[in-house]
Structure 1
């Protein structure tokens, strides 16, 4: 397992193949990931501990807030803006297609470059 430190917590990559990627995101309370989308990457997330807010773009282009708790699952299609925020410290399993560098940032609390 490979651990990657992030300004919002960390991620643990537990599976990496040419076809898919599996990781655990540990998001600290009050911290959030970039508002982002992926051109190709498709992901499904499942909250296993804690609570989080998922802002996910709907079909009309509006961001809709989803309060997720342990056991909740959401699918994030390509080209949909989204952002995860820790309400409490939380753990989120993510399984996605293998496009780890496919991130287009729209805004970021930590000064990482958009695009």
Structure 2
């Protein structure tokens, strides 16, 4: 079942997928960031296992707030919440979410993947 996907910012390992939930391990390379994105129905909780990241979250691009997350801290993201993660150092995040893995709309992406 485990499925590793290489990303321009690192990789993710999908280790669980059922009709009720999904589990991922996400590795982000230092000074890289994920896209600014949101999910229509997907709900997720992220737990920083190692490293240091800056989470940007908000209801619109004009009100994004930055929060430094350290190992042992978690962040819940409700559907519709804009979010982006930037790694201050190599970082590992554990993500548990509802199973809608394709439910992502990218608004800004450093790697040219903006859009759905």
Q: CA deviation at 1:58?
A: 5.2
1:78 Cα deviation after fit: 0.3
| Structure 1 unaligned blocks of 5 or more | none
Separation (CA, whole Å) in 2 of partners of 1:65 and 1:14: 29
CA deviation vs aligned residue, 1:54-93 (integer Å, no higher than 9, x gap)? 001159x611101001001000000010001111000000
- In structure 2, the residue matched to 1:8 is 9
CA displacement at 1:114 relative to structure 2: 1.5
CA–CA distance in structure 2, aligned partners of residues 68 and 78 of structure 1:
20
Using the alignment, how far apart are the partners of 2:106 and 2:59 within structure 1?
18
Tell me the TM-score normalized by structure 2. 0.94
Once residues 78 and 64 of structure 2 are traced to their aligned partners in structure 1, the CA distance between those partners, rounded to angstroms, is: 14
Q: Can you give the 5+ residue segments of structure 2 that lack an aligned partner in the other structure? A: none
Task: Tell me the TM-score normalised to structure 1 length.
Answer: 0.95
Q: Distance in 2 between matches of 1:62 and 1:32?
A: 19
**CA displacement 1:26-73 (0-9 Å, x = unmatched):** 0000100000000000000000000001001159x6111010010010
Q: State how far apart, in whole Å, the 2-side matches of 1:81 and 1:73 are.
A: 17
Provide the residue aligned with 1:80 in structure 2. Answer: 81
Matched, 1:89 2:85: no
How far 1:19 sits from its partner (Å)? 1.2
Deviation at 1:2, TM superposition (A): 1.1
The alignment covers a number of residue pairs equal to 114
